[in-house]
Chains A and B, each alone.
Chain A
């Protein structure tokens, strides 16, 4: 039986890495990623939402000159969704590579975003790829793919959700070099906000201060503290002419919580930084 492959991955998928994405290194993460890439070690990015994990991978893919394939994991993601499946076409079937298989074949960086969202039986398919075997077995086609040196597996993981159900199995997590991400220090966060939104430094400074204050509430009824991304959104609204106070309400206070009391407290903090 010959297996017909479907050429479903267009160049558009690789276009992501064409322009150098902006990323401000905080510590040695760039160097570590490069080393891991060179040594063919898989990488795990840990940290809360909106601190730049995805941006970092994009920037690294560009820097290393590799295509990047991103999979947003969800709880219905099956092994076939990653590896590939036969599709029926006319009276025939064609094999379609899943994103992971495609990345292995083409020596791309495969980024499994929010890996904990995927079912546990799905995540085990990556195991043989993450140790020194670096191979991927496709049961359905009978192929065994050996990953080329340029192939790199990256997963991201948000330990903040802290649910027993949504936790990585130790057998999975211990296959990765972990890079911790946290909110950038004030100076760097200011730099990022100003660069991303084009807002002036004075406003940027106030936003950084606001972010710090709101983050103090993270264990008082907030799922996730105000991320750098939210601060950038607020800054963008401010730069486009929306009043700072309103912008923060829209981009920070409302999105981070549905709880009226917390929202009121966050609004009060906003008015402490930006006048009514």
Chain B
């Protein structure tokens, strides 16, 4: 297996030291994470993320969507150098991906032809250096220095001497970066290497055109030529050129497109078009008949399909359920809510049993990572929220007030002298506004939130975006006194509606709550009605002037026992009408691309937002709240 081949690489390669006696400092990734995240975002046009991975101790790598760098750099005696190394190595990876060197169809399979792969890695490494310097000339000096540094370290490392690829690597590193070397110069450099031979000279001369080619195709041609033309490479795999890291074909994943998805919607494969996976057919609200339902591409938390359960869930409501009330046993310890049956145009009394639970609070590492990667954005959101703080405002031109408004007085006097009736709004007074808001944020935790965005496993899962959104909102709300709660909902059937209390109104946003946010995971179905009713119930208990319910969902209401199609939508709509009647304003955010079919009807125009770009959901949540509550 490819992975086994890579396992043979020793895990501490990046610790190559120039002189063992110089003390090196260790700079952890966390120190540079927030700036580096922005840096990679800028350079990659928001296409790549950066993270640390222990696998990257053998050399930074990328799977085509994320740049993985070592968890710490322990190579330099100066921490500035280590930070620079992080930056250069990340920029290099971005260029490697952007230039197409990591395209799956191009990278040779090391299990098929190991030599060809190794040559490819070395040659593209050299090519990317040059392309990078051309596009980002500011890094030219740093890349040159890194090349020298790499060369020095390699010539001190005895082990590399055992590889017969090493002379080529070192000779290439000796080439000047800023110009295209001529054949004579290449020959000269080849002859300077202690293991000089005719083969090395020929190879080096052959690279001449490739070095300044427009695209990496020539690297592959040359790698094929070298691996077939010369004798076999020996078993020793030379170290990565430190700032270039490695190519890991075993970790490069193609976009995972399922055959069903292709059938359902040929556009799903496009990575630019960040739409949620295709769902049901558009529904027609006018129709009075139950709508035929198609299979829903629900997914388990791990992204696999739960086809059996889905086909059951997607049936129209089985009417026989309707005559059976909840038993005492089923009601025990639960909040019991009614449900709206649109076919009978009546409430089904005591129909749903909802149980609250507090998710276990554990590690907060995911939340901490969000805080580090998005520190600048969070500070920005806080600043924006600070602007919402009630401020003392001097109102001019008032009928009454604590001071005379001189401007108004002069205008009025002038009007009077011109024969007009003067205004009597001559005072100014200071007004202090109070916010007095309670917010309940209700999050869809159904199984479908475990799906990868665009069905591409290199992307985030929907739940991760949601998690980010909650962290952003909670962080931003720390600067305001608004009372807020965060709830999640899932469950299967009306007997087991589940309501997770992530943060209750009176709880503070601390380690326990962060731990619960950390542990949020998708499960089961989307029965919106009872969850909305319970959240509204909690909201109305809050002493506040304005009460807001924000709902986050990734699809239409759906449950195992026929809470699908029009039935679910009608009950959700009814629950929202009840909410408004009890003085709760509602707003929904959804990433369901087909939500426009039912959202206006369910939530009302102006009370919902469809987010096409799923990752944007994270910031939209805070953004919407800010906009809803600005005074």
Contact = CB atoms under 8 A, between A and B. Distances in A.
B309 to A, nearest CB: 37
Given A164-B630, A274-B138, A265 B376 contact: yes
B43 A86 contact: no
Interface string B136-148: 1111110000000
A85 interface: yes
Contact of A86 (B38, B41, B141, B414): B414
B379 A86 contact: no
Interface stretch (A8-16, A30-38, A149-157, A216-224): A216-224
B391 interface: no
Interface residues of A, number: 44
Given A1-B418, A86-B418, A269-B39, A275 B137 contact: yes
Given A261-B35, A274-B138, A275-B138, A221 B380 contact: yes
A266 B41 CA distance: 11
B628 A164 contact: yes
B42 interface: yes
A207 B410 CA distance: 52
Interface in A108-126: none
Contacts of A106: none
A221 B379 contact: yes
B240 interface: no
Interface residues of B, number: 43
A31 to B, nearest CB: 31
Given A80-B411, A164-B630, A217 B35 contact: no
A270 interface: yes
A216 B379 contact: no
A3 B419 CA distance: 10
Interface in B604-631: 616, 619, 623, 626-628, 630-631
SS class, residues of chain B in contact with chain A: helix
B138 A259 contact: no
B411 A85 contact: yes
A272 B415 contact: no
A206 interface: yes
A249 B44 CA distance: 21
Nearest to A217: B42
Interface string A65-90: 00000000000100010000111100
30 contacts: A3-B418, A76-B396, A86-B411, A86-B414, A86-B415, A86-B418, A93-B418, A162-B627, A165-B630, A165-B631, A214-B42, A216-B45, A219-B377, A219-B619, A220-B38, A220-B377, A221-B38, A261-B34, A261-B35, A261-B38, A261-B379, A262-B38, A262-B376, A262-B380, A271-B138, A272-B138, A274-B137, A274-B138, A275-B140, A276-B138
Interface of A: 1, 3, 76, 80, 85-88, 92-93, 95, 140, 162-165, 206, 209, 212-214, 216-217, 219-223, 245, 259, 261-262, 264-266, 268-276
Given A220-B38, A221-B379, 15 more contacts: A3-B418, A85-B414, A86-B415, A93-B418, A95-B418, A165-B631, A212-B45, A217-B42, A219-B377, A220-B380, A223-B380, A269-B43, A271-B139, A272-B91, A273-B136
Interface of B: 34-35, 38-39, 41-46, 87, 91, 135-141, 374-377, 379-380, 396, 410-411, 413-415, 417-420, 616, 619, 623, 626-628, 630-631
